[in-house]
Amino acid sequence: MTRVQLRLYFNRDRPIGPGKIQILESIREGGSISEAARGMRMSYRSAWLLVASMNAQFKKPVVNTTLGGRGGGSATLTPFGVEVIHRYRAMERATRRAIAKDLAVLERGLRARARKSRKKAPQAW
C-alpha cells in the first residue's frame, strides 16, 4: 500500500512531519529523549533539537524535560503534545480518505515491480 506523508510548514519553521511526530510518540512511550533518539537511530542532539524547535514554535510546550540526576533526565509529553500527535494522525487519516480515488488511479498506472527476492537464487546443480 502506498505510504502517504504529510508535512506542515508553519511560518518559516522547519516542517512538522512524520519524523517529529514519531519522536513525540516515542517520548510518550518511553519517557526519555535519549530512548526516542536511539529508537529512531538519530543522535540525542538531533532529537533534542527537534523537540526544542517544537517547544519554541508553539505557545505551550509539547514536551517537559527534567534535568539530570541519577540515571539522567526524563521527558514527558504535555497535554498539548498529546494533542499535536492526535491532530497530526487525524490529519493523516483524513488525507488518506480525501485522496483515495486519485491515488487509486495513479496506483493502477504503476508498473508491476519485479520484487527483489530475499532468498538467493538456488545454485544450479
Binding site for a second copy (CB under 8 A): 2-12, 15, 56-60, 80, 83-84, 87-88, 90-91, 94-95, 97-99, 102-103, 105-107, 109-111, 113
Q: How far is the CB of 25 from a second copy (least distance, A)?
A: 16
Q: How far is the CB of 125 from a second copy (least distance, A)?
A: 32
The one-letter amino acid at 120: K
* Tally of CB atoms within 10 A around 24: 23
Identity of the residue, 48 or 88, whose beta carbon is nearer to a second copy in the bound complex: 88
| Helical packing angle, 18-30 and 44-57, nearest 10° | 100
Residue 16 DSSP one-character state: B
CA distances from 101 to 56, 96, 104, 113 (A): 38, 9, 5, 22
Identity of the residue, 70 or 101, whose beta carbon is nearer to a second copy in the bound complex: 101
Identity of the residue, 4 or 49, whose beta carbon is nearer to a second copy in the bound complex: 4
